[in-house]
Amino acid sequence: MVPASVADYRELARRRLPRLLFDYIDGGSYAEVTLARNLADFQSIALRQRVMRDMTRLDLSVQTLGQTWAMPVGLAPVGLAGMYARRGEVQAARAAAGAGVPFCLSTAGICAVEEVARDAAPPWYQLYMLKDRGYMRELLARVHAAGCPVLVFTVDLPAAGTRYRDVRSGLSGPRSLGGALNRVWQGASRPAWLWDVWARGRPHLFGNVVAAIPEARGIDDFWVWVGRNFDRGVTWEDLAWVRETWDRPIVLKGVLDPDDAREAARLGADGIVVSNHGGRQLDGVRSSVSALPPIVDAVGGQLEVYLDGGVRSGLDVLKALALGAKACFLGRAWAYALGAGGQKQVSRMLSTLRAELSTAMVLTGCTDASRAGKSLLDTLKLEDHFVSSASAPSTSPDLAG
């Protein structure tokens, strides 16, 4: 298959990856209601087609937090990316650098921040609040020394959501001999992945937290440590602690409520990502795109507002921009492409997304992505969409959001 869309990369990743890794990318929490909403709500927003305008010059660039991106798209943090392709975080970071967009490295990445900075470019860095503040201080010092320009503080994961697909596939849940044999079979049934990643992509450790658990021998040991160290006691006061420790821009990821957005602005965050963690945390909440307009109304003039969740095309990017987002972060889209074929496919996916965004701008009469507004949308359809957004859509497992 020659991939033409994000859905095609998803299918190629499904064919190449062991089931437990594909389901980790593809799945959401519980019944996956929110995961499906992320896609369905984007699909129900209508763009407003305009004609007979001079569209010979387009500007897709965006300036934010002291940086200029070639288009309003970034690669969101995705855990375990180094298991989808050999040293996958480095490959994805190279693709992002080639496209002129930022790459955000997950704390739960296989490659350490120093490796990504050395072999690609200094990434944005995603941080979880852990109980051990001494270790967090050391980690932030490493991230700072690596040249990371922005800290992305994920605030919607004091505890991990229950993901049924991960239990069924064997990635999580109780360990048993049968489960171990199932995991071995899954790897052996994907020989290309087995050779490229399992044999040649070692070490398979969470590179950013290796020093915290030197006795760890594999990913399972790291999952246990990370699970025990997520801090359920985190409060807004902890943002002040992070601010004292980090002197570069801070973006809070996982904001879905206008009151939380106002608090983030009041306490000095430089940006927020409107996000429901891709439908992987609290199931049954609203989609990210339906949560975006009231948050923009509340704090859009005080900090940068980004969005992730459900973005599958350049058309989706333009819709989010029209609703007030500064830019969109992609998670599953680039993870699918990475699993489908590494850096080359991530680069190709980003090129496709850019072409889709360009076409959408031409056909809506938008010459400057940074000036996109609600005039690009069919307002009647938009009103209908948000009035009905509280109702639950169909939850097909194929609708990864």
d(CA 367, CA 205): 45
Sheet with 73-75, strands from edge to edge, namely 73-75, 327-330, 304-308, 271-274, 250-255, 151-154, 124-128, 104-105
Is residue 385 part of the annotated active site? The answer reads no
Q: Is 250 helix (H, G, I), strand (E, B) or coil?
A: strand
- Would residue 145 be called left, alpha or beta, if left means φ above 0 and alpha means ψ between -120 and 50 degrees? alpha
Cβ neighbour number for residue 267 with a 10 Å cutoff: 14
Residue 3: both structure tokens together: 């991939």
* CA-derived radius of gyration, the chain: 20
Q: Pick the catalytic residue from 144, 204, 277, 385.
A: 277
- What letter represents residue 192's amino acid? A
Tell me, what DSSP letter sits at residue 370? G
> How far apart, in whole angstroms, are the C-alpha atoms of residue 278 and residue 292?
14
Residue 55 vs residues 4, 46, 326, 369: alpha-carbon distances, Å: 25, 21, 22, 13
Instruction: Name the residues annotated as catalytic.
Output: 277
